[in-house]
Structure 1
Amino acid sequence: MWHDARLLNNLANALFGAVLLVLIASGVWWVIQRPVFTLQSIRVEATGEQGLRHVSALTVRNAALPKIRGNFFTANLDAVRAAFESVPWVRKASVQREWPNKLRITLEEHAVMGTWGDQGKLISVKGDVFTANLAEAEDDADLVALSGPDGSEREVLAQYTELKSRFQQIHLAPVAVSYSNRYAWSVKLDNGMQVELGRVQDADTIRQRVDRLMAVYPQLVNSLQDSIESVDMRYPNGLALRSSHSAMTKKQTKASGKT
């Protein structure tokens, strides 16, 4: 081998290349560790023009900044994004580097719709469940109470939106919508009336039951005024109701079982 000039030349070139790579890597590492690249500024701003209502500088300083590691080059942007998304009220964060020692964080806040379940959680207008200060949420809007099995958040929100649109025709509004573990729907209206809608058998089940209620609601109000406590719409051809003036009153065109 030692008499093979070509092999020795190739070996020398390889060693030289390896040493050069080590020197370059060391030089790059030395450069990126210079104090000029230490993070000096982290600018936080909101998406859109509305600004941040609930995320304060104090909250960011206490909850997110202690989790940031590294400098302009070595900071893990995914870790920085996760740190900001762990802050209450933050729905989404995006992170950008700004030369030579800054980070720019853009935050999107949750827009609250109501409460979710009975564990003190909130649900946003996009169907995201999150944890935040309930008192702050109540300052934002009149919260509706939504509940359902895990994973049904967007389905419940969509049903609430549909029910709100339909009941608006008789000047009522849902204040609570519940989807039980047995997949049955119920809604409480702003006049205090509880409406049992039952299980969905097809795409039109809930709509048809709500339409039947709206068709007879003016007559019920004329007869019972504001004393209606609950209405059960699970009967295919009628309804059952309870009022504060009487025991259960059943109105059906023919006998049938509940669904």
Structure 2
Amino acid sequence: MWHDVKMMNNTANALFGLVLLALMASGVWWVIQRPMFTLHSIRVVGATSQSLRHVDAVTIRNAAVPKIRGNFFTANLDAVRGAFESVPWVRKASVQREWPNKLTVTLDEHVALGTWGGDGRLISVAGDVFTANLAEAEDDTDLIALNGPDGSEKEVLSQYLALKEWFGKINLVPESVTYSNRYAWSLKLNNGMQVELGRLQDGATLKMRVDKLLMIYPQLIASAQDSIESIDMRYPNGLAMKYAHSVGSKKQTKASGKT
């Protein structure tokens, strides 16, 4: 080997290159650790032109900032994003570096629509389930109650919006919509009336049952006034009604089979 001048030159060049790379890496590491790159501020802005309603400086300081590690160069932006998305009311966060020692965090807040599942969780207008202060949500809007199996949140939300549109034709609004574990739909309207719609045989079943109720509803109200407690639309050729303020329940049906 010692008589092979070419191999010796190649070896020396390789060693020199390694030493040079090590020196450069050490120099870069020394530079990025300078105090000027220590994070001095984190600017938080809303994703829309409106100001953030529920996320404030105190919450961020207590819930997100302690989880942030590193400086301008070494901070893991995915970890920073995760820290902010763990803050109540934050739906989504995006993070950018701002030279030389700042981060800019853009937050998208949840907009509460109602409660989900009856255990204190909330559901947003986008169909996301989240946990936050229920009293704050109630200050924003009149919460509806949505219920369904885990994973059905967006389906229930979509059906609620359709039901809201359909019953709006008779000036009624769903206050709660439930999709049971047996895949049956029911709702309670803002006049206190419970409506059982049952399971769906196809995509048009639910609307057909609602349309049938809407068609006869004026007659029902004319004869029963405000005494209808519930209506069961699961009968293929009729319906069943239960009256409030009466002993027992009174039913009117044209068929006994339910679906």
> How many Å separate the matches in 2 of 1:245 and 1:217?
20
Cα distance, 1:249 vs structure 2: 2.9
Cα distance, 1:251 vs structure 2: 2.7
> Where does residue 63 of structure 1 map in the other structure?
63
TM alignment of 1:238-249, pairs within 5 A: 238-246=238-246, 247-249=248-250
Tell me the secondary structure at the aligned position of residue 250 of structure 2. strand
The structure 1 segments of at least 4 consecutive aligned residues displaced by more than 6 Å after TM superposition are none
> Where does residue 179 of structure 2 map in the other structure?
179
1:94-148 CA distance string (max 9 Å, x none):
0000000000000000011000011100000000000000000001111100000
> Where does residue 83 of structure 2 map in the other structure?
83
Tell me the secondary structure at the aligned position of residue 217 of structure 2. helix
Does the Cα contact within 8 Å between 1:233 and 1:240 map onto a contact in 2?
A: yes
> Where does residue 111 of structure 2 map in the other structure?
111
Cα distance, 1:25 vs structure 2: 0.3
Tell me the secondary structure at the aligned position of residue 87 of structure 2. coil
1:161-209 CA distance string (max 9 Å, x none):
0000000001100000000000000000000000000001100010000
> How many Å separate the matches in 2 of 1:103 and 1:14?
40
> Where does residue 34 of structure 1 map in the other structure?
34
> Where does residue 258 of structure 1 map in the other structure?
258
Tell me the secondary structure at the aligned position of residue 230 of structure 1. strand
Tell me the secondary structure at the aligned position of residue 71 of structure 2. coil
Q: Which amino acid aligns with 1:52?
A: L
Cα distance, 1:33 vs structure 2: 0.2
Tell me the secondary structure at the aligned position of residue 162 of structure 2. helix
TM alignment of 1:1-259, pairs within 5 A: 1-246=1-246, 247-253=248-254, 255-259=255-259
Q: Which amino acid aligns with 2:250?
A: T
Tell me the secondary structure at the aligned position of residue 181 of structure 2. coil
> How many Å separate the matches in 2 of 1:181 and 1:129?
18
Does the Cα contact within 8 Å between 1:240 and 1:248 map onto a contact in 2?
A: no
Q: Which amino acid aligns with 2:40?
A: Q
> How many Å separate the matches in 2 of 1:226 and 1:48?
44
> How many Å separate the matches in 2 of 1:87 and 1:245?
48
Q: Which amino acid aligns with 2:173?
A: A
Tell me the secondary structure at the aligned position of residue 251 of structure 1. coil
> How many Å separate the matches in 1 of 2:95 and 2:243?
57
RMSD: 0.8
Cα distance, 1:235 vs structure 2: 0.4
Cα distance, 1:49 vs structure 2: 1.0
Q: Which amino acid aligns with 1:195?
A: V
Question: How many residue pairs are counted as aligned between the two chains?
Answer: 258
Cα distance, 1:250 vs structure 2: 2.9
1:208-237 CA distance string (max 9 Å, x none):
000111111111111111010000000011
Q: Which amino acid aligns with 2:174?
A: P
- Unaligned runs of at least 5 residues, structure 2: none
Tell me the secondary structure at the aligned position of residue 238 of structure 1. coil
Cα distance, 1:245 vs structure 2: 4.3
> How many Å separate the matches in 2 of 1:50 and 1:175?
28
Cα distance, 1:252 vs structure 2: 3.0
Tell me the secondary structure at the aligned position of residue 25 of structure 1. helix
Does the Cα contact within 8 Å between 1:46 and 1:107 map onto a contact in 2?
A: yes
Q: TM-score, normalised by structure 1?
A: 0.98
> How many Å separate the matches in 1 of 2:215 and 2:238?
11
> How many Å separate the matches in 2 of 1:18 and 1:117?
61
Q: More displaced, 244-253 or 140-149? A: 244-253
Cα distance, 1:48 vs structure 2: 1.1
Cα distance, 1:52 vs structure 2: 0.2
Q: Which amino acid aligns with 1:213?
A: L
Q: Percent identity?
A: 72
> How many Å separate the matches in 1 of 2:252 and 2:229?
15
Cα distance, 1:244 vs structure 2: 1.4
Cα distance, 1:248 vs structure 2: 2.9
